[in-house]
């Protein structure tokens, strides 16, 4: 496995964990009586639990060499670039730079030559008899 993938997996797992932390913060705020008129603290916390869990699982998958985590990690970090733009347009330049820099770093790691090479190599669970490189008929 590529070291770039493992590093990206660690960062993505941290992003997912931070999503779960945000869910806890929202539940505590709502339980303490801080109510927003436009949003539900509990509903937003549930969204963060779902998304954070998915991103955490993707990070774990990359860390352990499972290819399925890459798509989720790429999608999440593309979304985080949009979040960085929103944060920037809200006047929080320092937060926007951090979010954008981390997202760009993860995307760079996941699209690095070594990561793409790792992704395109047949894995131990791949059926080597039924792929486009085999000369025989598809026996699946």
> pLDDT digits over 78-112, tens only?
999 999 999 999 999 999 999 999 999 999 999 99
Task: State how far the Cα of 140 lies from the Cα of 132, in Å rounded to an integer.
Answer: 13
- Report whether pLDDT(50) > 90: yes
Task: State how far the Cα of 53 lies from the Cα of 50, in Å rounded to an integer.
Answer: 5
Question: pLDDT confidence of 131, banded at 50, 70, 90?
Answer: low
- Report whether pLDDT(116) > 80: yes
Nearest residue to 57 via CA among 103, 2, 13 = 13
pTM: 0.84
What lies within 8 Å, CB to CB, of 13 at 6+ separation is 55, 56, 58, 59, 60, 62, 63
For residues 47-54, average pLDDT = 97
3-state helix, strand, coil in the chain (%, to 5): 70, 0, 30
For residues 5-28, average pLDDT = 97
Nearest residue to 15 via CA among 87, 88, 107, 91 = 107
Q: What is the mean pLDDT of the chain?
A: 90
Do residues 59 and 16 lie in contact, with contact meaning Cβ atoms separated by under 8 Å?
A: yes
The per-residue pLDDT for 35 is 81
What is the per-residue pLDDT across 64-79, written as a single tens digit (0 to 9) for each? 999 999 999 999 999 9
């Amino acid at each position: 496995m590529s070291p770039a993938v493992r590093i990206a997996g660690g960062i993505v797992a941290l992003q997912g964990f931070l999503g779960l932390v945000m869910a806890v913060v929202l539940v505590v705020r709502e339980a303490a009586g801080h109510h927003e008129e436009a949003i539900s603290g509990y509903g937003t916390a549930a969204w963060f639990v779902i998304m954070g869990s998915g991103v955490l699982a993707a990070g774990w998958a990359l860390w352990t060499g499972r290819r399925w985590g890459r798509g989720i990690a790429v999608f999440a970090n593309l979304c985080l670039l949009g979040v960085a733009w929103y944060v920037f347009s809200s006047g929080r330049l320092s937060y926007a730079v951090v979010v954008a820099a981390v997202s760009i770093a993860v995307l760079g790691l996941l699209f690095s030559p070594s990561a793409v090479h790792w992704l395109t190599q047949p894995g131990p669970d791949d059926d080597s008899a039924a792929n486009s490189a085999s000369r025989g008929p598809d026996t699946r």
